[in-house]
Chain A
Amino acid sequence: QSALTQPPSASGSPGQSVTISCTGTSSDIGFYNYVSWYQQHPGKAPKLIIYEVTKRPSGVPDRFSGSKSGNTASLTVSGLQAEDEADYHCSSYAGRKIIFGGGTKLTVL
């Protein structure tokens, strides 16, 4: 099964909002409400920021939000801050396996 499709890069100025898309198929994102998003700073382990499409783990700011429409999931970061500059990875359950996207590098201008 192919990786989920993410744009390689995204950017925004401090205070702005940016949305990162993650496109799959009717066998993964379109079928299951098990989409998650991870933030990864250089040299660090990934950190879960969104799970089950829209839920935030304790401690994750509400500036991060997730949604899904059809076969595409989205991560929106509102009120961009300098520390949001990182790589963002989406993933989806796909029937006893997990598929990741290729990752999106978010730059805060």
Chain B
Amino acid sequence: EVQLVESGGGLVKPGGSLRLSCGASGFSFSNAWMSWVRQAPGKGLEWVGRIWSKSDGGIADYAAPVKGTFTISRDDSKNTLYLQMNSLKIEDTAVYYCTTYLNGYSEYWGQGTLVTVSP
């Protein structure tokens, strides 16, 4: 059974940093492309970014609003995906989901972790 478990969310002040983790099991993590999707309270889904498998180059792409401040990385030895978030803004407040990624869709989703950016 595929499982994705996010952790690391919490309350942070504007301008602060936070690192989210996503532990994966039940599939070949090292061969998987992975992504982060967020959802602000009461709003729709917003794609944050995606990272290729290392065998495909390990390249990460980002949505315009987070490019330059968020970094996606992976540790295949730990079956873990990361999202490093710097210079956080109030509008980054959201539930952050870790997902598998293939051909533009996210088949498996974690339960999400809430990030609240507030003074």
Residues of A within 8 A of B (CB): 1, 3, 32, 34-36, 38, 45-48, 51-52, 57, 89, 91-93, 96-103
- B50 close to A (CB within 8 Å): yes
What are 19 A-B pairs at a CB distance below 8 A? A32-B104, A34-B104, A36-B106, A45-B97, A45-B109, A45-B110, A45-B111, A45-B112, A46-B97, A48-B107, A51-B105, A51-B107, A91-B47, A93-B103, A100-B37, A100-B47, A101-B44, A103-B43, A103-B44
Cβ-defined contact, A93 with B104, below 8 A: yes
- B46 close to A (CB within 8 Å): yes
Cβ-defined contact, B44 with A3, below 8 A: yes
User: Which chain B residue lies CB-closest to A52?
Assistant: B103
**Proximity bits, B65-109, A CB within 8 Å = 1, else 0:** 000000000000000000000000000000001000001111101
Residues of B within 8 A of A (CB): 35, 37, 43-47, 50, 61, 63-64, 97, 103-107, 109-112
A46 to chain B, nearest CB (A): 6
Contacts of A1 in B (CB 8 A): 64
Contact pick for B45, options A47, A57, A103, CB 8 Å: A103
User: Which chain A residue lies CB-closest to B108?
Assistant: A48
Contacts of B63 in A (CB 8 A): 97
Contacts of A34 in B (CB 8 A): 103-105
User: Which chain B residue lies CB-closest to A94?
Assistant: B104
Cβ-defined contact, A51 with B45, below 8 A: no
User: Which chain A residue lies CB-closest to B47?
Assistant: A98
Q: How far is the CA of A91 from the CA of B46 in the complex (A)?
A: 10
